[in-house]
Structure 1
Amino acid sequence: MTLWLRRAGIGLLVLVALLAAAITLLVANGHRKAERRVDVAAAGVAERGDAAAVERGGYLFRSRGCTDCHGSDGAGRTFVDDGKGLRLHAPNITPAPGSVVASYRMDDWDRAIRHGVAPGGRPLLIMPSEDYNRLTNDDFAALVAYLRQMPAARGGAAEVRLPMLVRALYGAGVVRDAAEKIDHAKAPSLPIPEAVTAEHGAYVANACIGCHGAELQGGRIPGAPPEWPPAARLSPGEGSAMARYADARAFVAMMRSGIRPDGSTVSPVMPFGALREMSDVDLEALYVHLKGLTSQMAAAR
């Protein structure tokens, strides 16, 4: 028995050593990946500064999740701090002297917002550019127009603290930055009339993929705090959250209140601060698009 226990102990120590070595290698790989250069050709969008562009840009800033990380004043805020080593603080993106965007040109904004790449080519680890990659050139220019006219605010640079396990998962490719997820060669979306249509709804739905996935299938959000619940499935299939909503009115009410038709509460992880800012047209179009996916699947059977 003593010999068996001794061998088991040695085996356990070897296993722990191998695991520690694997984690160390993955963390080192993650560091190299975070420092890689991503070459992206910007779209060459012209600047805008007219009142209509600023108004549209302000709407996009409030309704597409920008305030969740950067704050309503653009000064940046801590949006995740689990007290266990995971801390994420977004940078100041106002035109204040010394802010990370103070010298940004349109191409720099394009790479950062739609591609998740800093001006020097390094990937932006936390920027959810997969949500913004499909912005039309007009919407992208409008968003930049709004950001450039914001009052200068006091705020620092980004702060990204990741636990060793998350850094290892990043090195292993389980957790990916936005620049890894995006097809950088794909042209921006073409303008779509704002109306309660499935086409416009599909455009709005691009803002959901950061959490719900490119196919809107939901599931665990890679790199998120472990206490966060899985994102709901929005696409057709078993367990789709869309089965809860018989009509657009019920869906829009939930997006505004965080309360489902049955009275249950949606997790506050959902960015309701931004969702409440969405227009009725955007939300109803999103509903039409998501319900249309279900209809398309049923018709294909």
Structure 2
Amino acid sequence: MKRTWVRALLGGLGALLVLVALAAGVGVFLAQQKMQRRVEPPVQPVAYRSDATAIERGKYLYASRGCVECHGSSGTGRTFVADDSGLRIAGPNITTGPGGMVAAYQPVDWVRSIRHGVDPQGRVLMIMPSEDYNRFTDDDLAALVAYVRSLPPGAGQGAIVELPLPVRALYGFGLIKDAAARIDHGLPPQQPVPEGATAAHGQYVANMCLGCHGEALAGGKIPGGPPDWPPAANLTPGEGGVMGRYPDADSMIAMFRSGKRPDGTPIAVMPFGSLREMSETDLRALYLYLKALPGRG
């Protein structure tokens, strides 16, 4: 009787392992298909600019909107995720130097990559936060491109996206989305808002937060993030949100500059290398906008 029970248990475990292996195999197959798909969003080119004003604005956006976290301060690429599970992600070289990816880019290609998360051939860019950038005004997109095109040529390599098998399977089944799948490709460019310490300008600045904190900025699991990353904070006021920790704009600005909460504890994951470069005007506007949001517990 005991042997029969043990055999049944082992048989059940074996069948379960076979099912898991089959599911993983299907997931990896689906992932490969999704990585090779082509996306053809409606794209309108934004004309190149090369004037000093545009380059200076682009330099600020590059430094403060997360570009440096993936592509490095020189634009030659940077490994920003690497752990023992086999997960490794590196941003590509976006200069015109050896290994650079943009030497042949035309104005329309920059729009595809930045706003829509696809390369010039329409293939998806796996780890491009285009859901944050597709709301750039045309002026800001042109400024960012102007600065990147002004970078000195440097040696680097293409993007590296090495995903462990479980992550590939989750991506294949749609539980993790790539850049192009997280975007409303029909969304028109945002119209310019006067820059100043206003909630209206703060809403424009807050676009950079959507990729991690969600469309409603209510936080939760970070899409595509490693499993050990903590959930993104709820940025709305009220119960469950973190804005109660910041009674005024100065306290939030101190957090952006230091990477620490008011009680001195460090905040994980947030790209403070970029965030601390944000201007006081942008941060004061962001504070006003976040404090005016409806609470979402």
TM-score surpassing 0.5? yes
Query: Counterpart amino acid of 1:239?
Result: G
- Show the counterpart of 1:229: 230
CA contact (8 A) 1:82 1:225 kept: no
**What whole-Å deviation, never above 9, does each CA across 1:252-301 have from its counterpart, x for those lacking one?**
1111111222222212x11111011100000111110000004xx59xxx
Give me the CA root mean square deviation: 1.3
Q: Distance in 1 between matches of 2:34 and 2:105?
A: 24
Q: Distance in 1 between matches of 2:227 and 2:99?
A: 35
**What whole-Å deviation, never above 9, does each CA across 1:108-143 have from its counterpart, x for those lacking one?**
000001110010000000111111010000000000
- Cα deviation for residue 236 of structure 1 reads 3.9
Query: Counterpart amino acid of 2:221?
Result: R
- Show the counterpart of 2:150: 149
- Cα deviation for residue 97 of structure 1 reads 4.8
- Show the counterpart of 2:290: 290
Query: Counterpart amino acid of 1:179?
Result: A
- Show the counterpart of 2:104: 103
- Cα deviation for residue 250 of structure 1 reads 0.4
Q: Distance in 2 between matches of 1:157 and 1:52?
A: 30
The residue correspondences of 1:15-30 to structure 2 (distance < 5 A) are 15-30=16-31
CA contact (8 A) 2:131 2:182 kept: yes
1:162 equivalent to 2:142? Answer: no
Q: Distance in 1 between matches of 2:200 and 2:168?
A: 38
1:252 equivalent to 2:253? Answer: yes
- Show the counterpart of 2:215: 214
CA contact (8 A) 1:219 1:230 kept: yes
- Show the counterpart of 1:279: 279
CA contact (8 A) 2:99 2:158 kept: no
CA contact (8 A) 2:87 2:163 kept: yes
**What whole-Å deviation, never above 9, does each CA across 1:194-252 have from its counterpart, x for those lacking one?**
11111111111111111112221212223322222111111245321111110111011
**What whole-Å deviation, never above 9, does each CA across 1:134-187 have from its counterpart, x for those lacking one?**
000000000000010110111011111001111011011110012111111110
User: Normalized against structure 2, the TM-score is what?
Assistant: 0.96
Give the match's secondary structure for 1:103: coil
The residue correspondences of 1:47-62 to structure 2 (distance < 5 A) are 47-62=48-63
Give the match's secondary structure for 1:78: strand
- Show the counterpart of 1:134: 135
CA contact (8 A) 2:211 2:223 kept: no
Give the match's secondary structure for 2:293: helix
Moved over 4 A (4+): none
User: Normalized against structure 1, the TM-score is what?
Assistant: 0.95
Query: Counterpart amino acid of 1:255?
Result: F
CA contact (8 A) 2:65 2:208 kept: yes
Closer, same or farther: CA 172–238 of 1 in aligned 2, 3 Å: farther
1:240 equivalent to 2:241? Answer: yes
- Cα deviation for residue 71 of structure 1 reads 0.3
- Show the counterpart of 1:2: 3
Q: Distance in 2 between matches of 1:110 and 1:98?
A: 21
Deviates more, 1:233-242 or 1:75-84: 233-242
